[in-house]
Amino acid sequence: MDFIELIDKLKLKDASMVLYSLLNRIPIIIFGNEFEEIENILVELSEAIPFRKEYIYNSDFISEQEYENLTLNESNDYKTKRITIRCPSYISFKALKELKTFNSWLIGINTSDQGEETKILNLVKEKIRKFLFINISREGIGVEFKGGSKKDLDISFEKKILQKVSQDTERSIERMKRVLSDKMNQNEMDKNLADFVLNFEVEKNELKKNIFNREIQNFYSGSRRAFFILSKISFLNNFSPDNKISNKTVLETIDYEDVSIERIILFIQREWNEDFKNLVDFNKKLILKNAIKSFWG
């Protein structure tokens, strides 16, 4: 099961929570009793966000010090890719025992051993304050957000992205079908052969994945442009305090208005550990002032 197939199996709300957790680097814990299925989903989740770099616990690093060195690179270099840690289920108990922080971790837990399951569950609750819990069973796939306030869980952007991906995929397929139908009508093709040609079920998954990657990359690029602008304003405040920019001006300047400025600020905070919320002003007078400045160049 690849990432798109996983998302398609879930309800929109659950799929949106998965995407929200991946973008916000919230740990994801995957429970199940089928080793291969757990590992496959771990890999797919790790590869779902194209602008991240994967490291594997017990392969790329083992000790707390090695892990700290990886995270230190993020603090020292904004240009470096942010990391995602994949922790296979056979070594998850060791990781939870020996390490302290699990930001952006994907952890598999094999529930076939009931004794270990209880120990690991207790460790998860002890070590990780907020995480997404994915439970794989014969009944299906359950998704639940653990810890924190659910009132703060705004997944409206993620819902919008996933809906847009589905709609754009269908539109793309319909356009291709129209082109092919025109060609086949000219040649009076056999109906069975025509049905075969117009069947895009095999190609649909790849189309959807390409469109998903495009939308996620657009969000990342827009957020990074916002990061550049807000970083400069933060720097200017060292010399002339209280410089601010309106939310509308930020979105227009970065040429990405598919999301609220609040969502971009949250992403910047989680991705680059910078809190710029005090630099953005929602005052209508400032919005008008910035608009006039922009108009006159």
DSSP output for 193-206 = HHHHHT--HHHHHH
Distance between start and end Cα atoms, the chain: 52
> For the residues 235-256, what does the mean pLDDT come to?
90
Instruction: Find, among 120, 79, 77, 78, the residue nearest to 102 by Cα.
Output: 120
Q: Is the same domain home to 28 and 143?
A: yes
| pLDDT number for residue 176 | 84
Query: Model's pTM, two decimal places?
Result: 0.89
Nearest alpha carbon to residue 158 among 13, 9, 2: 13
Identity of residue 123: L
Average pLDDT, the chain: 88
- Same structural domain, 53 and 166: no
Same domain flag for 161 and 289: yes
Q: What's the maximum distance between 2 C-alpha atoms anywhere in the chain? A: 75
Q: Does 187 or 168 have the greater pLDDT score?
A: 168
- If asked whether residues 131 and 168 sit together in one domain, one would say no
Last residue within a domain, chosen from 96, 119, 152: 152
Instruction: Tell me what pLDDT residue 187 has.
Output: 67
Neighbours of 140 (CB within 10 A): 9
Do 217 and 289 lie in one domain? The reply is yes
Q: Where residue 296 falls among pLDDT bands split at 50, 70, 90?
A: very low
Tens of pLDDT, residue by residue over 105-141, are 999 998 876 566 677 778 888 899 899 999 998 888 9
Q: Are residues 177 and 142 in the same domain?
A: no
Domain boundary among 128, 152, 176: 152
Q: Are residues 82 and 220 located together in one domain of the fold?
A: no
What residue numbers bound the domain in which 220 lies?
156-295
pLDDT higher at 162 or 78: 162
Assess whether pLDDT exceeds 50 at residue 158: yes
Measured CA to CA, the distance from residue 224 to residue 214 in angstroms comes to: 15
Residue 139 shares a structural domain with residue 277: no
Type of residue found at 166: S
Can you read off the two tokens belonging to residue 160?
A: 């919008």
- Of 152, 175, 195, which residue constitutes the final position of a domain? 152
pLDDT at 103: 93
In this structure, the answer to whether residues 133 and 113 fall within a common structural domain is yes
Instruction: Looking at the structure, tell me whether residues 269 and 169 fall in a common domain.
Output: yes
The domain tally of the chain equals: 2
Shared domain check, 104 and 30: yes
More confident call, 158 vs 295: 158
CATH of the domain at 79: 3.40.50
Let me know the angle formed at the C-alpha of 90 by 34 and 72, rounded to the nearest 5 degrees. 125
Q: Say what the pLDDT of residue 297 is.
A: 43
The predicted structure's pLDDT at residue 155: 95
42 by Cβ neighbours in 10 Å (0-12 / 13-18 / 19+) ranks as: buried
Task: Judge if 168 and 258 occupy the same domain.
Answer: yes
